[in-house]
């Protein structure tokens, strides 16, 4: 049996090991979540987002009318280039306020148009749009981020391409084959593959010795030849 054929079992095994993190389920809030800090870890991202919600609120109009100095103070807690972050927050709210109800608008669009709308937002490319569509329950769209993509490649589910874009397309194609219409499974796969890539299957040196997937992993088989 190939690693690809075992992907459902792999996701189930990882789901027993890693809790599913609590993320916003609203598309606007997910866009804000992505833009709340610069290269921050999950714990800090959560703290930044909660502070923003507490001090400014998640109403786009409240964000636009907030004191710029207050926004800058919040942005400074999120790392480098705080001025750019404030500009992005304001740009995000301007796009959101083009419709009376952004969430309803994006949910009501055909998938291609919804994706195009999401990609108008700062820092949101195809992977970000897929993630927002999936985690907000708008569409059962396969999504991966860099950690999960690395795990799938090392497991032998696909051959890495010459660019991130090509690898990403190959990775989501694997998920499409496995869980095409099951949004809950795809969301679980997104989260647990990401967590595994952060915890054990790290970019530098994977910790294969304690990995629960060692028996099915192509990467470890190649390394021990
Ligand atoms: S065995 Fe190693 S390379 Fe394979 S998934 Fe586990 S940590 Fe990653």
Same domain? For 111 and 150 the reply is no
Same domain? For 46 and 111 the reply is yes
Same domain? For 109 and 156 the reply is no
* Burial (CB count within 10 angstroms: exposed 0-12, middle 13-18, buried 19+), residue 131: buried
Same domain? For 115 and 200 the reply is no
CB of 151 shorter than 6 A to ligand 1: yes
CATH number at residue 179: 1.10.1670.10
| Domain presence at residue 2 | no
Give distance in angstroms: CA of 213 to centre of ligand 1.
Answer: 6
CB of 64 shorter than 6 A to ligand 1: no
Q: What does the pLDDT profile of the chain (225 residues) look like in tens digits?
A: 555 457 889 999 999 999 999 999 999 999 999 999 998 999 999 999 999 999 999 999 999 999 999 999 999 999 999 999 999 999 999 999 999 999 999 999 999 999 999 999 999 999 999 999 999 999 999 999 999 999 999 999 988 888 999 999 999 999 988 766 789 999 999 999 999 999 999 999 999 999 999 988 988 766 655
Contacts by 163-172 with C-beta closer than 8 Å and gap 24+? 165/126, 168/126, 168/127, 168/144, 171/144, 172/130, 172/142, 172/143, 172/144
* Burial (CB count within 10 angstroms: exposed 0-12, middle 13-18, buried 19+), residue 15: middle
Supply the residue whose CA is at minimum distance from atom 4 of ligand 1. Answer: 217
pTM above 0.85, yes or no: yes
CB of 208 shorter than 6 A to ligand 1: yes
CB of 200 shorter than 6 A to ligand 1: yes
Same domain? For 216 and 167 the reply is yes
CATH number at residue 52: 1.10.340.30
């Amino acid at each position: 049996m190939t690693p690809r054929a075992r992907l459902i079992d792999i996701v189930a095994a990882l789901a027993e090991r890693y809790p599913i993190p609590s993320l916003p389920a609203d598309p606007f809030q997910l866009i804000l979540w992505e833009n709340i800090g610069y290269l921050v870890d999950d714990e800090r991202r959560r703290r930044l987002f909660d502070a923003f919600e507490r001090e400014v609120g998640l109403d786009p109009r409240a964000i636009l009318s907030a004191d710029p100095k207050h926004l800058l103070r919040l942005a400074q807690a999120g790392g480098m280039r705080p001025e750019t972050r404030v500009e992005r927050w304001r740009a995000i709210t301007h796009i959101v306020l083009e419709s009376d109800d952004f969430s309803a608008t994006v949910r009501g669009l055909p998938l291609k148009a919804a994706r195009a709308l999401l990609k108008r937002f700062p820092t949101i490319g195809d992977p970000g749009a897929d993630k927002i569509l999936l985690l907000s329950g708008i569409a059962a769209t396969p999504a991966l981020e860099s950690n999960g993509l690395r795990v799938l490649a090392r497991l032998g589910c696909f051959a890495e391409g010459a660019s991130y874009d090509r690898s990403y397309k190959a990775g989501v194609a694997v998920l499409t084959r496995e869980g095409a219409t099951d949004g809950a499974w795809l969301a679980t796969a997104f989260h647990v593959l990401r967590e595994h890539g952060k915890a054990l299957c790290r970019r530098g040196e994977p910790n294969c010795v304690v990995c629960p997937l060692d028996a099915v992993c192509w990467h470890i088989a190649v390394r021990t030849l």
